[in-house]
Structure 1
Amino acid sequence: MAPKAQLRVSDDKCNLFICWEDGHVTQSHVKRLRFHCRCERCLPSFSGMMPVDRDAFPEDMIIVKAFIEDEILHMEINQEAMENHVTTIPMGWLRDNCHCETCMTTAITQSDIKFGNPKEIPRVSNESLESKQGKFEFLRKFFDDGFCIVENVPKEHRAAAKVSRMFGCIRSTLYGEVWDVKNEVDPRNAAYTVFGLPFHMDLPFYEAMPGVQLLHAMEFDSSVQGGESQLVDLYHAADILRRESPEDFKVLCRVPVTFQTIDLIRPEPCWYESAKTHIEVDYFGNVVSILWHPGLEGQLRIRPEDEGAYYKAYVNFMKIVKRTELEYLFRLKPGDLIIFNNRRMSHARKGFTQSSGVRHLQGNYINLDDMKSTYMVLANQLGKKIAPPKCGNRSWF
C-alpha cells in the first residue's frame, strides 16, 4: 500500500504534484499521466495495440480536475480524445514508478554493473541447470560478474548449443550457428592458430553484435602448454578511464572508429564495416555500450584535427584494459563451458604449444536480450524481487 498523499496542480495546469505523507514528492506532466492511464480502456488487451493515437490529443493539454478516491488517482483533462473517459492510475503504481531525481538515481544504482573480483571465478555445475532455481543462480552470477563457467558439460558435439537453448535462441553469424576453435593448417582467422589473442569483443562490425558467447572445452589435453583464458570487464576499464582521464573518455564517446571484416576469398565472401564510437553514454551520462576489437579496425574515417586526440585516448584505454589487476585468468578443463557477456567482457587467450595434445573449443552465440528476459521471468516465477540489470545493450536497465 502506498503512503497517503495530497495533490497540487501547477499554475499552468500542466503538472501534477503528488505530495506523499512521508515527505516524498512526485511531479508528473499531464501528458505522462494521461498516456499512462491504467483503466481497462487504455491498457492494451494484447501486445502492439494502443486504443488511441497520441496525436489525437490537443497540444495544449491541461488538467481540469484531479482527486484521489479509493487509493486511485482520477484526472480529467480538456478535449479528451476518448468519449466519457477519466484517467485512473493506482497510487501504488505512481509511487513505484516515481521518476523524481532521487528515485531515478536509486533505480540506476540498483541496475548498474557491479565490478567483480578477478581472483574469484564464478562457477556452477551443469546438473544445477536442471532446475529453475539453478538456472536463476547461474544467471545471477552471469549478470553480476559478466560471465560464469558451467562445469561438467558433456564433451559432445553441440552440447553448448543445447545449454544455449535453455536461455535463448542461437544467433547465427558469418561463422554459422556453431563453430570450432582449434589450430588449423590454413587458418582464415587468428582464433584458429596457436597464437595468443589480444583483448577483444567478437564481431563489433554487426549492427547488433552478438550479446552472449559460449565456448565449450571439448578437448584440452594436459600436455598443451599455455592457452589460458583471459577476461576483462570493459565497464570497469571505462570507469577507470573516466576518473583518471576524463578528456580521453569524452573523446572515445565522440570520435568513431571503423570496425570491419572484408574477406572476399573465404568460401562465403563477406563485407562488413561500420563506424561506431568505442564508448556510448545515455541520457543520464552513464556508459551503456562499449566496443573493442583492435584486430578488426579498418581505415579511420574522422577529421584530421581529431586524430591526435583519438589515438591518445585509444592508447590510454588500451593500457587500462591490459592492467593485470583487472584480469580474470584461468585454464578451462575438458567439459568446462564458459558463458560470457560479449557486450561487457573483453576476452583474450594466451598463446600455446601442442606438440602432442589438442586444444579444441566449440562455440556459439545467443542474444543478450533473450538471456535477460529468461532471468527476469525466472525471478518472477520464483518470487524474487530484483532490479533489471544493466548489461551492455545500450540501456541502463
Structure 2
Amino acid sequence: MSSGPLRFHAVWLRDNAQDHETRAQGNGQRLIALRDIPAETRIEAAEIAKPGTLEIRFAPERKRVSFDLAWLEAHAYDQAAAAQRGWLEDGVETWDADLMADVPCGDFAALTQGGRALQDWLGQIMRYGFAKVVNAPAAPGTLFDIVGLFGHVRETNYGRHFEVRTEVNPSNLAFTGLGLQAHTDNPYRDPVPTVQVLHCLESSAAGGENMVVDGFAAALRLRAEDPEGFDLLANHCARFEYAGEDGVCLTSRRPMIELAPDGALIGIRFNNRSCAAITDVPFDLMADYYAAYRRLGEIIDDTAMEVTFRLNPGEAFVIDNTRVLHARKGYSGEGTRWLQGCYADMDGLRSTYDAMVRSTALEAAE
C-alpha cells in the first residue's frame, strides 16, 4: 500500500464506481454518462466497512459505493508531475549495443502453444520494443501466423504484405541491395503502422545483416547532450511524404520526437528517405533545428547504439515501429536474400499481453 495519504475528487470516485448500476458487470463499460452524475456531487460519508474496502455515500444521490483500496491505490492520480520532459512509462527499458548479448527471442513452436512462453515474449516487446522469432517455417505466409499470435495484419498500399528482395526499377529503396540508415517505417502515414514484422525465407547473399536501434535511448541521449535540441525536435513538426506509386501520395506532419501532453516520450519518427521539406520551424530556429536533427542522426548511426543480427531462413523479428528503428547492411548481388514483411498494430499486441497478465494474476490469486 501507499506510504502516504492519497486524495480523490468526489466526482472522480462517483464516475469510477464499479457497481452494477454504473458499470456493465460483463465488460466493465459505463452504463451512465457524466451528465447523469450531479455536478454538485460530494462525499457525504466514508468508512472502512471491512478490511481492504472503502465504502462511500455520495450526496445528493445518497448512493453507496464500495471501492477496493488496492484498486484505488493502483489508479491514484494524486502524484507529483514528472520533472523532465521525455520521461518513460513504467515497464519500458532503454538499451544499446550491450543488449546484443541477450537479444529478446522466442521459439515459434513454443509461442504457438500460448501460455507463459507467449506472455514472456510479448512482455519483451513491451519492454524493449522488439523481439526475434526463431525456428519458424521458412515458408511464404508464415509472417501471418506470427501476427496471429497477438493481433491482425494492417493492410496498406503495399498490400497485406510486401516482398523484400532486389528488384529492377524498384518503387522503394528497401527493395534494393543498398544499405539503409536506421529508420522507422512509413512515417508518412497518419496513423503510422505501429508494428512491423520481417520474416526471412532465403539468405545466402553476403551481408544484409539486420540492425535495430532504440529510438527512445537515442532521444534521451540527445536530451542529455543538448536539451534545447531535444525540445526543438519535440516542439516542431517535420513533414514526411511518399509518392512512389501511381495514385499514391501519402503525407504526414508530426514531430520526430513525440511527447504526450504530460511530457512522456511516446514516439519517434525518423526516416531520411521520406523526410519532405520541413516548413513548420521558424526561420530563426531552423539552423538549430537542423543541428539537432543532424546530431540525432549521428547518435542513431553510432555503432554503440545498435544491435546487429543476421536473420536466417525461418527467423523473424517484430518491432514497435513507434520506438525502434531498423536498418540493414548492404548485400551483394551474389546469392539470394528474400524476406516478407507486413504491418500490424501495438494495440492488439498490448491487449493480448495485458489480458494474459490479468489471467495469470487471477489464477495466482485463486
Shorter-chain TM-score above 0.5: yes
Amino acid at match of 1:344: R
The correspondence for 2:316, drawn from 323, 337, 348, is: 337
The correspondence for 1:286, drawn from 264, 269, 288, is: 264
- Residue 319 of structure 1 and its aligned partner are, at CA, apart by 1.1
Instruction: State the distance in 1 between where 2:166 and 2:292 align.
Output: 34
Q: Could you tell me whether the CA contact under 8 Å between 2:112 and 2:149 is conserved in 1? A: no
TM value normalised by structure 1: 0.82
- The answer for the alignment partner of 2:242 in structure 1 is 261
- Greater CA radius of gyration, 1 or 2? 1
Instruction: State the distance in 1 between where 2:286 and 2:80 align.
Output: 40
- The answer for the alignment partner of 2:18 in structure 1 is 38
The correspondence for 2:208, drawn from 209, 227, 230, is: 227
- Label 1:295 to 1:23 Cα distance change in 2 as closer, same or farther (>3 A): closer
Q: Could you tell me whether the CA contact under 8 Å between 2:193 and 2:344 is conserved in 1? A: yes
Instruction: State the distance in 2 between where 1:141 and 1:349 align.
Output: 22
Instruction: State the distance in 1 between where 2:254 and 2:39 align.
Output: 36
- The answer for the alignment partner of 1:177 in structure 2 is 160
> Paired residues, what number?
355
- The answer for the alignment partner of 2:351 in structure 1 is 373
- Label 1:365 to 1:317 Cα distance change in 2 as closer, same or farther (>3 A): same
SS in 2 for 1:24: coil
The correspondence for 2:112, drawn from 127, 130, 133, is: 130
Q: Structure 1 stretches of 5 or more lacking a match?
A: 3-21, 386-397
Greater mean deviation of Cα atoms: 169-178 or 268-277: 268-277
Instruction: State the distance in 1 between where 2:58 and 2:119 align.
Output: 45
- Label 1:304 to 1:142 Cα distance change in 2 as closer, same or farther (>3 A): same
Q: Could you tell me whether the CA contact under 8 Å between 1:217 and 1:362 is conserved in 2? A: yes
- Residue 46 of structure 1 and its aligned partner are, at CA, apart by 5.2
- The answer for the alignment partner of 2:279 in structure 1 is 301
- Residue 213 of structure 1 and its aligned partner are, at CA, apart by 1.1
- The answer for the alignment partner of 1:6 in structure 2 is none
The correspondence for 2:66, drawn from 77, 88, 102, is: 88
Q: Could you tell me whether the CA contact under 8 Å between 1:232 and 1:321 is conserved in 2? A: yes
- Label 1:384 to 1:277 Cα distance change in 2 as closer, same or farther (>3 A): farther
- The answer for the alignment partner of 2:149 in structure 1 is 166
Instruction: State the distance in 2 between where 1:172 and 1:231 align.
Output: 24
- The answer for the alignment partner of 1:148 in structure 2 is 131
Q: Could you tell me whether the CA contact under 8 Å between 1:74 and 1:87 is conserved in 2? A: yes
Task: Spell out structure 1 runs of 4+ moving beyond 6 A.
Answer: 102-105
Q: Could you tell me whether the CA contact under 8 Å between 1:33 and 1:87 is conserved in 2? A: no
The correspondence for 1:206, drawn from 173, 184, 189, is: 189
Instruction: State the distance in 2 between where 1:37 and 1:281 align.
Output: 31
- Label 1:216 to 1:236 Cα distance change in 2 as closer, same or farther (>3 A): same
User: What is the alpha-carbon root mean square deviation over aligned residues?
Assistant: 2.5
The correspondence for 1:273, drawn from 251, 262, 271, is: 251
- Label 1:109 to 1:169 Cα distance change in 2 as closer, same or farther (>3 A): closer
Amino acid at match of 1:359: R
Q: Could you tell me whether the CA contact under 8 Å between 1:118 and 1:326 is conserved in 2? A: no
Q: Structure 2 stretches of 5 or more lacking a match?
A: none
- Label 1:351 to 1:274 Cα distance change in 2 as closer, same or farther (>3 A): same
- Residue 109 of structure 1 and its aligned partner are, at CA, apart by 5.7
